[in-house]
A and B are shown apart, each in its own frame.
Chain A
Amino acid sequence: MSTRVQTQGRLINRDRPVSFKFNGTLMKGYQGDTLASALLANDQMLMGRSFKYHRPRGVVASGSEEPNALVNLGEGNRFEPNQRATTTEIFHGLTATSQNHWPTLNYDVGVVNNVLARFLSAGFYYKMFIHPRPFWKHIYEPFIRHSAGLGKAPDAEARDADRYEHFYAFTDVLVIGGGVAGLQSALTAARAGAKVLLLEQTAHLGGRAPVDGGTIDGMEPEAWVEKARAELATLPNAQIRTRTMGAGVYDHGYVLGYERLTDHAPEVAGPRHRLWRIRAQQIITATGAIERPLSFAGNDIPGVMLASAVRDYLVNYGVSPGDRTVVVTNNDDAYRTAIALVQAGLKVPAILDARPEGGGALMDEAKALGIRVETGAAAVKVKGAKRVHSVCRGVQAGEGEVLEEIFCDAVAMSGGWSPVVHLWSHCGGKLTWDADQAAFRPDHTRAPTSHDGQPFVIPSGAADGAFHLSDVLQSAATAGQTAATRVDAEAGDAAAPSATAPDEAPLVPVWMMPQGAQKKLRMKAWLDYQNDVKVSDVQLAAQEGFESVEHTKRYTTLGMATDQGKLSNINGLATLAHALDAEIPQVGTTTFRPPYTPISMGAIAGEARGEIFQPIRKTPMHAWHEANGAHWEPVGHWRRPYAFLREGESVHDAVNREVLATRNSLGLLDASTLGKIIVKGPDAGKFLDMLYTNMMSTLKPGKCRYGLMCTENGFLTDDGVVARIDEDTFLCHTTTGGADRIHAHMEEWLQTEWWDWKVWTVNATEQFAQVAVVGPNARKLLEKLGGMDVSKEALAFMEWKDGELGGFPVRAYRISFSGELSYEIAVPANLGRAFWDKLIEAGKEWDITPYGTEALHIMRAEKGFIMIGDETDGTVIPHDLGLNWAISKKKEDYIGKRAQARSHMTDPKRWKLVGLETLDGSVLKDGAYAIAEGTNENGQTNTQGRVTSTYHSPTLNKGIAMGLVLNGPDRMGEVISFTNGDNPAKKARIVSPVFFDPDGEKQNV
């Protein structure tokens, strides 16, 4: 059984017990424990079930590479699936449950898949579920969906209870990893004067060194780590962030750091995670190395662990995974585990060393402690179900003959170490195969390059393939100096501290144990624990022709789980190489992609949630609208009232009331969102002539003109009224959504095409609140306010004038988008609310009625005015909309003119704008198609037009619509059919799009 021992445990505080719950059972750990170490201390080796076969699984590793020990963490609004027990620091009240089983972890019916395993090999799903075709939708997919997925999704009604944030940091040198290599690199670079930021994903500095031993500068590694930390703390140009993972390295020195602030202490206020958005000139990856499992049968039985993990649990947490631990290895490092176990008073029945000659100094030390060492030996298979029971010993050179069964309750395995090259590789760093270490390591000659074309990532320590302590420190110092030099700090001193550690004998690569294992054994030798991929699956993939490592990965799902194959990749591709009879470097690796381990969605979203999820733009009158029943409509980031609802009114009722009140008496519209761009300069007229399809340069000061703007490919992009302020100055109104876009459009042409033209622009949209005063009584209201002459004579239709109304400085435009007598009045934005209030107060005698965007739309449609975004969709030219009158024939050029001469644009078959009236007075569906005879080559009904705007007109009390129809203007009076969702087609008559007051008698008063 696994248990807490009385000695060791450098990271736990035995004076601080912590209680937590696992699958409902109250358990005890200590402050400093990870969930994995605390579970082991409670003899909870079984931590989950595997994904496909539901095999019982225990913890394998002690760090972020853990594939098995994934748990559901927290409850309710703090529930999260797939959290690694090995990186979860426990706290009082932590609640965790295991995953992938039903009904319980111990008794799981899904384990039937394990019995069927020989039928569920790689590619099973692809092969099995193809026939018969209809079965996929109705039988296979629902079944697979039910059983698929790792962990449990949070409740649909749950809302993340925590806060998150971003932080932008800039540094000369970013060191990722706070082991001895990272610390040494940081020291070297910082001493040379570079600004250094060091990130360490765990809560502790020092990495593996305090566990692995040796001396640095004559000190225990732990003492040296503390000294290094203290020195960095005194340097003003150096900073350390623990619990912060370097998640990804991106182009031009951009790095994401993932800081976990309160995961270990949820009672602490403040953001839970902080996403560091770092820009570094140089990045040192001191990310260490990960131990590889060995591929032998039963290597996934709970109790089989990485040798380094066994050592970590013992030394760091004072936990022994078992009383009797067999060590299986192909290298010297695993001997450290055997030695540590025996020194802690635990039993190591044997070390099975696959190497015929065994190891070096560490082997001698182990033997001196009385540990039995078998060389040239193999673990043929591990026996056990939910717990290791024994190891069957054979010879590595053989095919699986069992020579001896060794009883034990844990197995510590080591297949050698792979440098963590992920961050080096994220942005294009290439790898080289190190045959001596049997591992890929960074190829310094092919580093990722930055904006200046120069290398910007430097590997350090074990991440660079340096494994002996003295090599680690020398590599780290060199990396630190290289970084300092590249950021123009002083060259500094690359001297590394002196270090001692036992010399190690070379490893012998072992990709299958024993090397000639029969199929029965290979089918129980796991490569990828999380996705349940075995040696036999990879061999099958190779046999079936999936020879590219990327194809094999997808066919077998090797390395595709949440751990992204941290333990399985090298073993998997070595197996593939062997099956293909190729060399490992020829097979190559799959692509390393960020993030290094999963990061929370909350961290990515940062502060953007709740009321600051996105900017909401508000006009100066927003609060009035809010207080007066506004039913909001988003228009870009703006919120505009769609209608103002009165007590007991439906939206439809409100819209109808607003239209009729405006048509019959007086309406008020907040038009502040309309774009207002000031264009000034001696060439302003010439510029606007290019920008608009109309002639603007001939406009007289004091006058207004409606204009159309097209893109260079001819399509209508915006419209609005232009007012000429003086000889040199124009004010261009744009649509609400067009203000920023059209201002950018203007600047683009001025800056990049006509840069010699003398024109300045300013987007003054938000300087003014603008109110449309609309209806037969509009003039009466303004006259009541007083201050300027607003008579027909003084301010005629399509004129503007500066003046004063009711004591407010205003600019009044006589323009109309409703067909009514209408004034649009601009006041400085900070006076907008007061002006609005004044109008509401003074307008009471005419039952003044504020109206929203829907009433605006209906009134413009009744008049046949087009709306950008309804009648236009990026494929419509002004000619399609019958707007030829707004296209100057005199101008040689305007943006879009040449495109409108292209053959497709002049095709008489282009659909043209008409009005539409249903025969029964009902409303056509928005976007409905006009049905034509016959079908196209795909068997679909032919079309001859579509609806672009459709409303119930309260004024006319019937449905009205506009649409684009083939030869429409020539087919007045004709009745055609429109699609109507799933209902029978609707008949509508083609009519003029001007439904109301065609002669404009109402607005020209």
Chain B
Amino acid sequence: MLLITCPYCGVAAEETELHGGGEAHLKRFGPESSDDDFTGYLFHRENPKGVHFERWRHVNGCGKWFHAARCTNTLEVFGTYSAQTTEPPKDILDTIRAKRPGFKWRDIA
């Protein structure tokens, strides 16, 4: 059972306190967007074996959404960070680059 630290309240929360929210850093497409853009936003998801960026909510806790960088293969958590950002912060990326040289996720490497 996963153990992920909520960056807002600092609790190392077990999975039963958390709610998974799928892929992080989706860009919303609204009215007037093309079918391709909208379909991509609504349906297309990364499904890597390896480094992934995810959304989680500390639902049985402080109630905050946050982001986690996690390896879907080894389940290593590289770090958690604010939900209020459109891309992973540099320190998290540096950590991942050091541990998983050559990783690629969307256009992040």
Contacts and interface: CB of A to CB of B under 8 A. Distances in A.
Interface of A: 250-254, 279, 449-453, 712-713, 744, 747-748, 751-753, 755, 892-893, 897-899, 901-902
B3 A451 contact: yes
A251 B75 contact: yes
Given A279-B14, A752-B65, A453 B99 contact: yes
A870 B40 CA distance: 31
Closest 10 CB pairs of A and B: A453-B76, A252-B3, A755-B84, A254-B1, A751-B65, A451-B77, A893-B30, A752-B83, A898-B31, A752-B65
B82 to A, nearest CB: 9
B29 interface: yes
Interface of B: 1-4, 14, 21, 28-33, 35, 38, 42, 55, 57, 59, 63-65, 71, 74-77, 83-84, 99
A689 to B, nearest CB: 13
Q: Which residue, of B30, B32, B33, B38, has the highest number of chain A Cβ atoms within 10 A?
A: B30
Nearest to B75: A251
A898 B3 contact: no
A590 B64 CA distance: 41
B59 A753 contact: no
Contacts of A753: 28
Contact of A748 (B4, B21, B29, B74): B21
A253 B59 CA distance: 22
Q: Which residue, of B38, B55, B65, has the highest number of chain A Cβ atoms within 10 A?
A: B65
A250 B1 contact: yes
Contact of A751 (B38, B71, B75, B84): B84
Contact of A899 (B3, B42, B71, B76): B42
Q: Which residue, of B2, B28, B55, has the highest number of chain A Cβ atoms within 10 A?
A: B28
A755 B83 CA distance: 9
Contacts of B38: 898-899, 902
Given A449-B74, A901-B31, A902-B35, A748 B65 contact: yes
A252 B1 contact: yes
Contacts of B42: 712-713, 899
A247 to B, nearest CB: 14
B5 to A, nearest CB: 9
A713 B28 CA distance: 12
B15 to A, nearest CB: 9
Contacts of A902: 35, 38
A744 B14 CA distance: 20
A753 B86 CA distance: 9
B34 to A, nearest CB: 10
29 contacts: A250-B1, A251-B2, A251-B75, A252-B2, A254-B14, A279-B14, A449-B74, A449-B75, A449-B76, A450-B76, A451-B2, A451-B3, A451-B4, A451-B75, A451-B76, A453-B76, A712-B42, A747-B63, A747-B65, A748-B21, A751-B64, A751-B83, A752-B21, A755-B83, A892-B30, A892-B31, A897-B30, A898-B38, A899-B42
A453 B74 CA distance: 8
Contact of A752 (B29, B31, B55, B75): B55
Contacts of B14: 254, 279
B58 to A, nearest CB: 11
A900 to B, nearest CB: 9
Contacts of B75: 251-252, 449, 451
Given A279-B3, A748-B65, A897-B30, 17 more contacts: A251-B2, A251-B75, A252-B2, A279-B14, A449-B75, A451-B2, A452-B77, A453-B74, A453-B76, A712-B42, A747-B65, A751-B65, A752-B83, A898-B29, A899-B42, A901-B31, A902-B38
B103 to A, nearest CB: 13
Nearest to A895: B30
B3 A253 contact: yes
A892 B30 CA distance: 9
A753 B84 CA distance: 8
Contacts of A748: 21, 57, 65
B74 A898 contact: no
Contacts of A752: 21, 55, 65, 83-84
B16 to A, nearest CB: 9
Nearest to A740: B59
A708 B47 CA distance: 33
Contacts of A713: 42
Nearest to B59: A744
A451 B79 CA distance: 10
B75 to A, nearest CB: 5
A712 B30 CA distance: 9
Contacts of A751: 64-65, 83-84
B25 to A, nearest CB: 10
A251 B31 contact: no
Contacts of A747: 63, 65
A254 B14 CA distance: 9
Contacts of A755: 83-84
Nearest to B67: A752
Q: Which residue, of B29, B63, B74, has the highest number of chain A Cβ atoms within 10 A?
A: B74
A712 B71 CA distance: 28
Given A451-B76, A748-B65, A751-B64, A254 B31 contact: no
A901 B75 CA distance: 39
A605 to B, nearest CB: 15
B65 to A, nearest CB: 4
Contacts of A452: 76-77
Nearest to A256: B1
B18 to A, nearest CB: 12
Nearest to A428: B74
Nearest to B8: A751
A971 to B, nearest CB: 32
A997 B65 CA distance: 47
A705 to B, nearest CB: 22
A250 B75 CA distance: 11
A858 B83 CA distance: 44
Nearest to A743: B63
A252 B59 CA distance: 20
A898 B99 CA distance: 40
Contacts of A279: 3, 14
Contact of A897 (B4, B31, B64, B99): B31
